[in-house]
A = this chain, B = another copy of it.
Amino acid sequence: MGLTWGVCCLLVLVAAAGARPPAGHTFNTSDYLQQRRAILAQEQTDILGQNQVLSAEEEQVNKILMAAKDAEMEDGFETLDFLPSKNFMTVIQQMEESQVFKLIKQMPKGAALHLHHSAMASSWWVVQELTYWPHLYMCYDTDDHLFFRFFEKPDTTCAWELVSTVRSNYVDPSEFDAMLFSRLTLLTENPDEKYPDINTVWSIFQGYFATISNLIMYRPAWETYLYHALGEFADDNVMYIEFRGSLPPLYELNGTKLTEEESVAVYRDTTQRFVDDNQDRFFGARFIFAPPRGVDNATVHEYVSLMKRLKKAFPDFVAGFDLVGQEDKGEPLIAFVDELLQLSEADIRVFYHAGETNWMGMESDDNLIDALLLNASRIGHGYALVKHPEAKMMALEKDVPIEVSPISNQVLKLVEDLRNHPAVGLVAEGFPIVVSADDPGAWGASGLSYDMYEAFMAFGGAKADLRFLKQLAINSISYSSLDEAAESDLMYKWVEKWKEFVAKTPTLLADRG
């Protein structure tokens, strides 16, 4: 589908040079003001999506949206209580009360293209639902890490206790649930104290995945988890997702492990069941096989073989390949170039995490260049892209967007105040980005709206309006891995939803009074 749908001003830096009014010496105020207006207008149009023309109905919604945004920007400017400048985990409730946030929640946002399989759903739901299932056991290892597992009969690898028994020993079971919840997110009131640096937060973050893994890899639990996660996105007015996963084996109550193919079949069938049940509001999901990067060449060789098998077995459901884990700690892409080139040769799409680092010029920082040379369809995070002018130019030429997950970058300590996120400059230039949520369940979010709010308020500044959000929705569809026909179909369905949203928003607000 590509350029037809929206992607606006890719070469704006070059193209604008012609359009810009001459800026010579002007001593006359009215000439000055005219030049100034022209430059401001051009900068307004440069912003991602702002070159779109809105319908009269959309302009009406835009007025409502911008009145709310202006009020929040002004209030933030005066009080400095500006949500994107603060750690997300400390402002969740404030964000939920924001008028802008409420409008964004209602808005059809298209797709979320960067998610990880075991942090897609709200952790509170996991506690309230899955930890109440029978046959669930829990155990602490010697380092006080909490593990779960469903058993017919617990094994002897750990001092397993039935969760229901432990809970029944509490006078107030909600206390126990709150404890479980605290183990199943990074949520805290004092993130700066609890997570003093990037390695500490990553270590605790990886602990989260270790804790939740066997809780949701129980085959029936996973079916329920995935079905529910898709529901959270659908409820958040997201119609399609692409999620990454390392394919840990699903297991049955008796301990039987499913093969990778059997596991992916469960993913696909659960997705299909959800789509069948929600045809009016959800389009589908695809899976990106994304195993850990901290491995050796032989392991990557196996990854590649498995990837080829999966692509053959599930051509419509499996979108492609990625490698995950803290880039600074794992192996760089260049370590596996022989193996990874095989994926290009086999025409398998790749979506590498790259540039999720602050270490400019170090080995991990060059992943961006390898991701592009390996023909990534999108770049996961690409936080460091602004430090790589050649990579940035390659991305523009190849029309490769970066997948920006603002809350993730903040919680995982790349940046504190999201107004300093490098995406701000990229958005100002119209560089193609998609916004996603990475691991919303890990930090008390759900769906896509929280990240969209951050992007709208922090990346767009005071001047980005409905056009920017509309463009992000369009980008999320046009940069999906869907083939042309499916993409058109999704775009068509999204346009219908968008029209409904535009039609109902003024009425809704009028009704509210």
Instruction: Identify the A interface with B (CB < 8 A).
Output: 12-14, 16-17, 20, 23, 25-29, 32-33, 35-36, 39-40, 42-43, 46, 73, 77, 80, 85, 192, 197-199, 328, 334, 337-338, 341, 344-345, 358-362, 365-366, 369-370, 372-373, 375, 386-391, 393-394, 397-398, 414-417, 419-420, 422, 424-425, 428-429, 460-464
Contacts and interface: CB of A to CB of B under 8 A. Distances in A.
Contacts of A14: 14
A65 to B, nearest CB: 15
A423 to B, nearest CB: 11
Contacts of A424: 360, 386-387
A360 to B, nearest CB: 3
19 contacts: A16-B390, A16-B393, A26-B373, A28-B341, A32-B337, A36-B370, A39-B391, A39-B394, A40-B369, A43-B390, A73-B362, A80-B199, A359-B461, A360-B460, A361-B463, A387-B425, A415-B417, A416-B416, A420-B420
Q: How many copies does the complex hold?
A: 2
B23 A394 contact: yes
Contact of A428 (B26, B46, B387): B387
Contacts of A46: 389-390
B372 A23 contact: yes
Contacts of A73: 359, 361-362
A252 to B, nearest CB: 41
A33 B415 contact: no
Contacts of A429: 389
Contacts of A422: 420, 425
A27 B334 CA distance: 14
A198 B86 CA distance: 13
A388 B27 CA distance: 23
B42 A390 contact: yes
A69 to B, nearest CB: 10
Nearest to A69: B361
Contacts of A393: 13, 16-17, 20
A345 to B, nearest CB: 5
Nearest to A431: B389
B461 A39 contact: no
Main secondary structure of the interface of A (DSSP, over half): helix
B43 A389 contact: yes
A33 to B, nearest CB: 7
Contact of A341 (B29, B39, B370, B397): B29
A349 to B, nearest CB: 13
Contacts of A420: 358, 414-415, 420, 422
A425 to B, nearest CB: 4
Given A13-B13, A43-B389, A29 B415 contact: no
B337 A23 contact: no
A28 B73 CA distance: 52
A361 B462 contact: yes
A341 B27 contact: yes
B27 A365 contact: no
A373 B425 CA distance: 21
A344 to B, nearest CB: 6
Contacts of A199: 80
A389 B27 contact: no
A119 B23 CA distance: 35
Nearest to A428: B387
Which of A361, A414, A424, A429 has the most B CB atoms < 10 Å from its CB?
A361
A39 B390 contact: yes
B360 A462 contact: yes
A5 to B, nearest CB: 23
A31 to B, nearest CB: 10
A295 to B, nearest CB: 19
Counting chain B CB atoms within 10 Å of each CB, the highest count among A28, A388, A414 belongs to A388
A389 B419 contact: no
Contacts of A370: 36
Contacts of A334: 36
B40 A366 contact: yes
A62 B46 CA distance: 41
Contacts of A192: 192
